[in-house]
């Protein structure tokens, strides 16, 4: 699963950072963005201790942009140690809304 265009421009980076600041879960931790060969990785300290009992850094989401400009959002299945497609999104803002709201705790566990 390699992103077609893993590059992140400054506007998109700021848009993601602002969205992460609006999240409702674990607002007291600071997630980080990291460019990887697979896309844009969002990581965060694990405060719930559900995923990492030691409270280490865990993968939250993977964002990928296709050549068409659409976005794909993946969530981490920590038990299976793999990424699962959450869904495609035409716009980054729609992807971020799904990531930030997260009523089912698929991302912010």
pLDDT recorded at residue 104:
84
pLDDT recorded at residue 24:
72
pLDDT recorded at residue 49:
56
Tell me, rounded to whole angstroms, the distance of Cα 77 from its chain centroid.
Answer: 12
Secondary structure of 77-109 in HEC code, one letter for each residue: ECCCCEEEEEEEECCHHHHHHHHHHCCCCCCCC
| Torsions phi, psi for 28 (to 5 deg) | -90, 0
Residue with tokens 């844009």: 40
> Would you say 32 and 64 are in contact if contact means Cβ atoms under 8 Å apart?
no
Whether this model's pTM surpasses 0.85: no
Beta bridge partners of 43: 32, 59
Least confident among 3-12, 68-77, 80-89: 3-12
The model's pLDDT over 25-81, given as tens digits with 9 standing for 90+, comes to 666 778 888 888 888 999 887 666 565 555 677 888 999 988 888 899 999 888 888
């Amino acid at each position: 699963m390699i992103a077609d265009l893993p590059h992140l421009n400054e506007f998109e980076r700021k848009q993601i950072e602002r969205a992460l600041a609006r999240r409702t879960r674990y607002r007291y931790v600071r997630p980080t963005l990291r460019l990887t060969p697979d896309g844009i990785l969002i990581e965060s300290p694990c405060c719930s201790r559900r995923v990492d009992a030691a409270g280490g850094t865990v993968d939250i989401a993977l964002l990928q942009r296709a050549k068409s400009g659409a976005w794909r959002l993946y969530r981490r299945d920590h038990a299976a140690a793999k990424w699962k497609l959450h869904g495609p999104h035409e716009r980054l803002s729609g992807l971020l809304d799904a990531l930030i709201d997260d009523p089912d705790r698929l991302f912010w566990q």
